Amino acid sequence: MRFKRRVAITGLGAISALGTGNGITTGTGAVLDAMRTGRGGIGPITHFDASRLSVKIAAEVPGFSPEAHFDRRQLLMMDRVSQFAVVAAREAMAGIDRAAYQPSRCGVLMGASLGQTTIDASYHALYAENAARLPPLIIPRTMPNAPASLIAMEFGFTGACFATASACASSTHAIGLAGQMVQSGMLDLVICGGSDASLCLGYLKAWDGLRVLSQDTCRPFSRDRSGLVIGEGAGVLVLEAWDQARARGASVQAEFLGFGMNADAGDLTAPSAQGAAAAIQAALDDAGLAPPAVDYVNAHGTGTRLNDRTETQALHHVFGRHAVRLAVSSSKSMHGHCLNAAGGIEAVVTALALRDGLVPPTLGHREADPECDLDYVPNVGRRAPIGVALSNSFAFGGLNAVLVFGHAP
């Protein structure tokens, strides 16, 4: 790419276990409050009977009422995952004048997410209740591009619209590709990120089988960490051409600087320090930055023994002596591992950290691990100026994606 336009992040939207404020438009405010206060959203599962699960905790979105956001006809077409996506997109687009842009120059890129709650209910009806027929709208409710398509319909955007599928790096890939599309001039504005609503019996029973879930809470990088905690929600950003955003007087939250991605081409589930390091370096190269320019890393930080150790090794490899001066935290300790939405929610957290000079904490950190020897901002966030930040996503399948954001001057 010979010429790159600057890219502004002008909108942020979130739905998470950290709360939805008044239930309508303040999901990002709840995330920021949790970052300030060190409040987490992990707790007992209440949305369904979890007695058949060996792990009975999750990071559920509290107090979300679909009827507060959509009419009955809309809800017939929308799984919970699409509801989250559209509500977060509305928050991100609040205050942005759509008339300032041509619809064909605006797009939507979202991480691919199946309508798991619809699938679970349908399979139960078919196999447990011997239903003779199923509702006719199951396919459009569950297709992985439904969140992206419904957002495009919500705002009338007719430019590129698709979903990226790379497990828990899906949202990060969507944001990175969206940034590149704006940089290249292909689009002027993109709504991007991801959503996930997989807290249902069938899907969590499958995660039970992997034996990577924690029984109590998520403790990334702590010596006594015991696994990850599944969450749900959505994280959405609006990326715009910098000059156009400034010309219309937009409030810029942060700047998209670069993106790196690669594949380990190794193990299907075990992470690779070499692959992660290469993706981080690729992102820095794309941004034209040297490692010492980075102040903060929002780590993938799942809370599993192997992942946290491997990510620490990757950071040491890329940053060398500067690694010990980095602030590194995992916001999954607050909002859980939101799977296909993880990169979107964590990108929102990273943008807020840059905007407000607030390093979010890693909750649950109780004991230093010799193999995880960086500054993980244990339990209490801190005020600090942040000029450049990374957001890491390292997914099953060996798919790595890293975003570089900067403080908006």
- Sign for the CA dihedral angle at 374, 377, 383, 387 comes to positive
Which position has the token pair 């015991």? 226
- Nearest 5°: CA angle at 150, between 148 and 152? 70
Tokens of 21: 């404020």
Residues annotated as catalytic (active site), given as ranges: 168, 300, 337
Cβ neighbours of residue 302 under 8 Å, at least 6 residues apart?
212, 218, 220, 228, 308, 330, 332, 337
Distance (Å, rounded) from C-alpha 225 to C-alpha 214?
Answer: 8
Question: CA–CA distance from 108 to each of 19, 27, 79 (Å)?
Answer: 25, 20, 18
Of residues 55, 94, 108, 113, the one with CA closest to residue 303: 55
